[in-house]
Amino acid sequence: MPQLDFLIILPQIFWLIICFTLFYFTLSYLFLPFFLKTIKARINFIKNNQLLETQLNQIVFEKQQSLFKNLNTALNKIRSVLFTKLFHLKFKFKEQPYKKTYLIRNKKILTASAHSFLFCNSLLLNSLKFYPLFLNKKS
């Protein structure tokens, strides 16, 4: 077989070794440092982005907390205004035409509805049924 002739295969092996060593040194001394620099730059870029993200998340969280705090104070002011303006009813009769039990029930209903309104208890509000007195409905 002429392909395995000793005279033909020796120069091919020689040039293979020379080309391989040149290729190896070129890659390891020229391109490998360039690749390592880009990898390190990417790692630093990712770390900086993560630090920036955590700082931004912390800033957003602090802003949310301050917004919730301001919102709660505003809602408490609104509740107090509504309570003092709408639900702070005092019955002062010179002559009490109603029975004492009727006034006690009325007071209980008013305080229950005030508490349910202030604490936004929709189940309690839906369970109360108010009827005008002239309908004489008994439930």
What tokens does 93 get? 């009769």
pLDDT at position 112 is 74
At position 43, the amino acid (one-letter code) is I
User: Which stretches of the chain drop beneath a pLDDT of 70?
Assistant: 1-4, 83, 85-100, 102, 115-139
Domain assignments of the chain as residue spans, ordered by start: 7-88, 89-139
Nearest one of 130, 90, 123 to 109, comparing CA atoms: 130
What string of DSSP letters covers 34-84? HHHHHHHHHHHHHHHHHHHHHHHHHHHHHHHHHHHHHHHHHHHHHHHHHII
CB 109, CB 128: distance < 8 Å: yes
Q: How confident is the model over 61-70, as pLDDT tens digits?
A: 999 999 989 9
Q: What's the whole-model pTM score?
A: 0.43
